[in-house]
Amino acid sequence: MKRARQTEILNIIQSVDVETQEQLLDELRARGYSATQATISRDIKELRLVKELAGGGYRYASSDRRGLADSDIRLRNIFKEGVTSVDVAQNIVVVRTMPGLASAACSALDNMDISGMVASLAGDDVGILIMRDNDLAEQFIQEVHKLLK
């Protein structure tokens, strides 16, 4: 529900000049989403939306660094530097890391908003990702191989 609502918020701000949270709430309601102003406020913060000058007023927009807080950048670097291999067994992805880095690698993956990932579990040097189905697991490791190059 939250992910779908936040995706819709991003769609709205790309297609409509939204100046206020109230206007955003109205747009969401028109699309069948129920939310409170407090929820919208949290979504704006989590999505790292900013107000930018547009014409004669301001509007919400995605910041260039949306989703890439400093800790996220560090986690991605740990992932890139610490992962030694990735393999798939049906809908389970096995991520092997240097000793002690599996938790950081799984944390980085958790923060990457990967579609189809149900959960991650980390040991010392192995992380397990549970994907919704075999195809999503296979697609994911293809993307990881590109990231690791």
Q: What is the pLDDT of residues 55-78, one digit of tens each?
A: 777 888 887 544 445 555 666 677
Grade residue 45 by pLDDT with cuts at 50, 70 and 90. confident
Predicted local confidence at residue 53, as pLDDT: 78
Tokens 């191989």 sit on residue: 145
Q: Which pLDDT value is given to residue 67? A: 45
Predicted structure pTM score: 0.52
CB neighbourhood size of 122 (10 A): 20
Whether 17 shows a pLDDT value over 70: the answer reads yes
- pLDDT at res. 115: 79
- Which has the higher per-residue pLDDT, 39 or 145? 39
Phi/psi region, residue 102 (left: phi>0; alpha: psi -120 to 50; beta: rest), is alpha
The pLDDT tens digits for 111-147 are 777 778 999 999 999 999 999 999 999 998 888 877 7
- Percentage of the residues of the chain whose pLDDT score is greater than 90: 46
SS3 assignment, position 73: helix
Averaged over 77-88, what is the pLDDT?
Answer: 84
Q: Bridge partners of 83?
A: 97
CA 139 to CA 136: how far, in whole Å?
5
